[in-house]
Amino acid sequence: LAGYLANLHDTWISLYMTSFPTVSVINGHSLGGGCLIAMGCDYRVMIGPNYTIGLNETKLGVVPPKWFQDTMFAVIGQRKAEVSMTTGKMYTTAEALKIGLVDESSTDIDSALKKGTQFLNNFENISPWAYKTTKHISRQPTIQLLIDNKQKDFDFVFKYMQTSMVQKSLGLYLKSLKKKR
């Protein structure tokens, strides 16, 4: 768990603060860490209507780490994010588009890639320095909280993930996944 969380943490920071524009084309269900990675991108195109996206940790008896929460606050706003996370809400493509969790929807991968490329083309005449600096300034508060509280957040996650209540809930979830096969 420690290695996974540390790798996810470092990957997300690199993605969230990269100096160039990023696009996530979501071609499948995007829950938990998958949703987090998508939210770390500058633009999200989700193929629908059959897929869902969200932070469903509470449905598994798990508290989303603070930095997951801060990221969702930044993307869809405090109130929508709070309701989403406390209920473990998984959004359809249409719902995610409506609340701003994704920026565009598409019916197929080719169209989604085209939309992502069109977004990236918006930056052809933008100074890379101006883009990078503006992005870093706007995202710095979220990143600084994450960096300052990294160990505290990790300690909290490790502590509650090992409780019998969470372990039981995760076990039941894994069993339910096996039954779906």
Q: Taking Cα atoms as reference points, which of 90, 93, 55, 47 lies closest to residue 72?
A: 55
The residue with greater pLDDT, 97 or 165, is 97
SS3 91: strand
Q: For residue 27, is pLDDT > 90?
A: yes
Which two structure tokens, joined as six digits, stand for 69? 């929460």
Taking residue 2's Cβ as centre, other Cβ atoms within 10 Å add up to 9
Asked if CATH classification 3.90.226.10 holds for the domain at 2-180, the reply, yes or no, is: yes
Mean pLDDT of 91-105: 97
Mean pLDDT of 73-93: 96
